[in-house]
Structure 1
Amino acid sequence: MHHHLRTVAGPLDVSGIRGPLLAHEHLVLDLDHAGDRAAVLDPVAHAPAVTEELSALRAAFGLSAVVELTCRGMGRDPRALARIAADSGVPVVAATGWYYEPFHPAEVGASGTAGLTDTLVREIEHGIGTTGVLPGVIGEVGSHGDVPSPEEARVLTASARAATATGLSLATHAQLGRGGPAQLDILTAAGLPPHRISIGHQDLLDDPATHRALAAQGAYVAFDTVGKSGYQSDDTRLRLLLDLLDAGHADRALLSCDISRHGYLASEGGQGYGHLFGSFLPKARAAGLDDDLVDLITRRNPLRFLTGADVEEI
């Protein structure tokens, strides 16, 4: 079986991917609503530092791909992603979809479910704008609170239909870790199988029972804000991850750092994209994770999530 990732440089055969992936990152983004320019990764000002970090992680840890979940309304820049991928030597998977409601562009309110679905399918099949870059994942599709708003529910439904129509998988943004079960209900009701779904930011929700329930239904559980100590300690993240592993769901965990502000870059004194490899995974190994488990969670799981492949095929 040949399974491929859809990267910004074209299809990539997963059989050649031997190192870890970052399952939820941002390389270029603009979430600045207040004018403070903190929630920005600029394609000119910050891209050289981003590129340098990825290149260093490829050399030090074998970083094999980055899943870049900046979507419509988040300052997405496919041409900049293509440059970063080419210059760093790290493949990048670009995304399409819509973030949670405070960041919805006007097109969301102006479109019904069918129109939103068509917008995503068109982008997945023909490329983002005129760039020719094809999205390889739908995400990060957002909601906030325990139940998505009507507009967020419409986006989730449209995104699930587009995923089903195109064969892509879908990653969510569950604001502060809340609303994952409701997201999964909406997505599966729209026809998307749970094993094509990753529920985001679950490391911000200190509720192992919810994580077990999501995994038991077949969805991926993303512990994807590793190193963001302002939201949650890595000690808590590790405890939650170990709980999920102890419950028998190692094949449903995903890990990433969700670098989303330029102050998080290593060059600016932040934790950087490498925090997962340099800090968190050593702690996880000290807590008992062996090489095979680390490989499962950081390589096989994200590849299986993205492609829908069976474990044995990765």
Structure 2
Amino acid sequence: MEHHPGAHPPSPHPRHHPHSVPTVPAVHTVHTVHTVGGALPAAAVRGPVLAHEHLVLDLDRAGDGAALLGTTRHRTAVTAELAALRAEFGLGLVIELTCRGMGRDPRALARIAEESGVAVVAATGWYYEPFHPDEIRGASVGQLTETLVREIGDGFGDTGIRPGVLGEIGSHGDRPSEPETRALLASAHAALATGLSVATHAQLGRGALAQFALLTGTGLAPHRISLGHQDLLDDPAVHRELAANGAYVAFDTVGKESYQSDDTRLRLLLALLEAGHADRVLLSGDISRHGYLESEGGQGYGHLFRSFLPKARAAGVDDSLIDLLTRRNPLRFLTGAGADADAEEI
């Protein structure tokens, strides 16, 4: 994968984040995304983007190894799937939202990106409370912010690889718990200090309005926020409210039929499109265990392209709109570009 050096603009005014937090250069300029292979012009991404996936992770709390994408065999299968999607659909980028405490492996992501030919954006932040590492306990918002800002500036350990997004920052229930609130606030402050965007995990789609209020209360712009798993919430009014307020609404568990049928997802998507909010939708499949891989009989990373989008086309969604949903929107989310950005640049 080609490496792009990119320029680094200065951080926003320090009033947006705790005074104890060091300022660092933002990791990308407008219309540039920071991948595990370096800075990449958004205009170079000509194919679709998967807006919320996992390529390597370990959420195994039961000890059965189900919530795992960590073995060499898994990585070989993941790489093969991405390479096939690049060949068949032109897959250009994966936003990989495995963060701190989720079994993140930046070096493995870099290998998958290089071998598949698909660019990958890595993440930092904290998942929802049951998966919080010990570093959350007792840490102030300022201390957590400093941890994130430092990792964004210095990279993951000694790898030289830097995150390009904050996510998936989690909560469960209608309102975040106290530790989840600190993690969300720290993510917002880190976003303001570094120029990255924030993608959330709203457990079963609940609590997105509360997440949005917390994040924007710090001064973070709505278009730098993606509210996760909204396709699991059968509430078009919430989706409209989030989108009307400028946030991205993530329909990012496409194909997970045990949680929600794709027919319901399509109905919810069409309702949001008909309400005039096509420029605020993100799509993905959130592959989060090895049983979802094609090699193990699962729907795989290609379900969105092979099953869901054909149904959307049959319902009247044309190719230009699909390009907006699957390419321009996720690139605008990552870069902070406005909805009026030149389609040839985004």
Q: Identify the TM-score tier after normalising by the shorter chain.
A: over 0.9
Task: Return the offset for 1:44.
Answer: 1.7
2:137 partner SS: helix
CA RMSD of aligned residues (A): 0.9
Aligned counterparts of 2:307 and 2:168: Cα–Cα separation in 1: 25
C-alpha separation between the residues in 1 aligned to 2:249 and 2:184? 17
For residues 98-119 of structure 1, what are the alpha-carbon distances to aligned partners after superposition, in whole Å with 9 as ceiling and x for unaligned?
0000000000013110000000
1:2 deviation in Å? 6.0
Equivalent position of 1:80 in the other structure: 108
8 A contact 1:2–1:15 mirrored in 2: no
Q: Are residues 1:228 and 2:253 paired?
A: no
Q: Distance in 2 between matches of 1:278 and 1:292?
A: 17
Could you give the per-residue CA deviations for residues 219-249 of structure 1, whole angstroms, max 9, x where no partner exists? Answer: 0000000000000000000000000000000
Work out the percentage of aligned pairs sharing the same amino acid.
73
SS in 2 for 1:45: helix
Residue 226 of structure 2 corresponds to: 198
Partners of 2:235 and 2:154 in 1: CA distance: 40
* 2:314 counterpart of 1:286: yes
3-state SS in 2 of match to 1:182: helix
1:130 Cα offset (Å): 1.1
For 1:138-187, what per-residue CA distance to the aligned partner results, in whole angstroms no more than 9, with x for missing partners? 00000000000011011000000000100000000000000000000000
Answer yes or no: is the 8 Å Cα contact 2:30–2:335 preserved in 1.
Answer: no
Letter in 1 for 2:100: R
After TM superposition, the structure 1 = structure 2 runs for residues 98-137 of structure 1, keeping only pairs within 5 Å, are 98-137=126-165
State the Cα distance separating 1:43 from its structure 2 match: 4.4
Equivalent position of 2:289 in the other structure: 261
Is the contact made by 2:30 and 2:336 (CA closer than 8 Å) also made in structure 1?
A: no
Distance 2:245 2:41 in 1: 28
SS in 2 for 1:57: helix
Tell me the equivalent position of 2:43. Answer: 15
CA deviations over 1:69-126 (Å, ceiling 9, x no partner):
0000000000000000000000000000000000000000131100000000000011
Gaps of 5+ in 1: none
1:276 aligns with 2:304: yes
Q: Matches of 1:166 and 1:202 in 2, distance apart?
A: 26
Q: Is the 1:226–1:255 Cα contact (8 Å) retained in structure 2? A: yes
Structure 1 stretches of 4+ with a deviation exceeding 4 A read none
Q: Is the 8 A contact 1:2 1:13 kept in 2?
A: no
Q: How far, CA to CA, are the matches of 2:81 and 2:202 in structure 1?
A: 27
Paired letter, 2:32: H
Would the aligned equivalents of 2:30 and 2:337 in 1 still touch at CA under 8 Å?
no
Question: Hey, what does 2:212 align to over in structure 1?
Answer: 184
Q: Which of 55, 58, 61 is matched with 2:89 structurally?
A: 61
User: TM (normalized to structure 2)?
Assistant: 0.90
Please report how far the alpha carbon of residue 46 of structure 1 lies from its aligned counterpart in structure 2 after TM superposition: 0.4
Aligned residues: 314
**Match of 1:93?**
121
Alignment deviations for residues 39-86 of structure 1 (CA, whole Å, 9 cap, x no partner): 000142300000000000000000000000000000000000000000
Distance 1:156 1:17 in 2: 29
